[in-house]
Amino acid sequence: MSKLGNEFFNNPKTGVQNTDHINGLELFRKSLEKNYFAEVGIANYGAKEEVANLIIDLKCHFSLSETLFYLNNAIPEDRNPKSLIPRRTFLFHKAYSKLKNSNHISLDISELTINLTDTTILISKIYDHSIEDQIENIFTELSKHNLYYTKGHNETPFEIFIPVFEEDTLESDAKLQNIVSDNNNINDYFGFWGMYYDLTEEAVIYDLNTKRIIQGDIQILSE
């Protein structure tokens, strides 16, 4: 259980559902375990059999810096330099594409949690297929901003929540309407991230636009 408790979560899960109707799920899980040297758990929070909202949990025996180094130096099987296939997350996309092609139900990822030796990264869905669409860009930004949110490589946050929203903004009618209608956009992933550091009791915000760590009241979305 995250130290955040209910502070960051505004939509509690309704309960785990059966996964027997999801074709190829075990093959997908094993592919992630092999390609990312991880222990992988997958749950489904889809309310109906024709829907699957996956909660994917990876436990990797690497630090954040080791993980970013591995992903930044990964060579995809498709070596065409003009290819539009994501580079860092190629193997994830390849495995997930096979899973989707094996099913005729509505399939999406609601949460992706990556447990590393020194931090946990929780990525939440903010619009339909947003994690699938933006996982490559998220890890690009994790690498690009690593110097700043680790305070010059001196302190790694032990929890990173992507994204977070300012509490007053989340409570506005416009933002709530976007959440209900899946009308958020990719920029919502790259505004603010939530961080917990060992030396602080309160969560802080990392502002990607200013590359600064700031104080504030924030929430994340959770299915």
Q: Which residues pair with 51 in a beta bridge?
A: 106
- In this structure, is residue 126 part of a structural domain? yes
> What are the C-alpha distances in Å from 202 to residues 10, 158, 171?
18, 12, 21
- In this structure, is residue 173 part of a structural domain? no
- In this structure, is residue 127 part of a structural domain? yes
pLDDT of residue 132: 96
pLDDT tier, 85 (very low <50, low <70, confident <90, very high otherwise): low
- In this structure, is residue 212 part of a structural domain? no
Q: Which domain holds residue 109?
A: 25-160
Long-range contact pairs involving 88-91 (C-beta distance under 8 Å, separation at least 24): 88/136, 88/139, 88/140, 89/135, 89/136, 89/139, 91/31, 91/35, 91/36
Average pLDDT for 23-28: 97
Which pLDDT tens digit goes with each residue over 161-176? 999 986 654 444 444 4
pLDDT of residue 78: 55
- In this structure, is residue 78 part of a structural domain? yes
Q: How many whole angstroms separate alpha carbon 171 and alpha carbon 174?
A: 8
Into how many domains does the chain fold? Answer: 1
- In this structure, is residue 118 part of a structural domain? yes
- In this structure, is residue 8 part of a structural domain? no
pLDDT of residue 135: 96
- In this structure, is residue 166 part of a structural domain? no
The structure's pTM equals 0.82
pLDDT of residue 1: 31
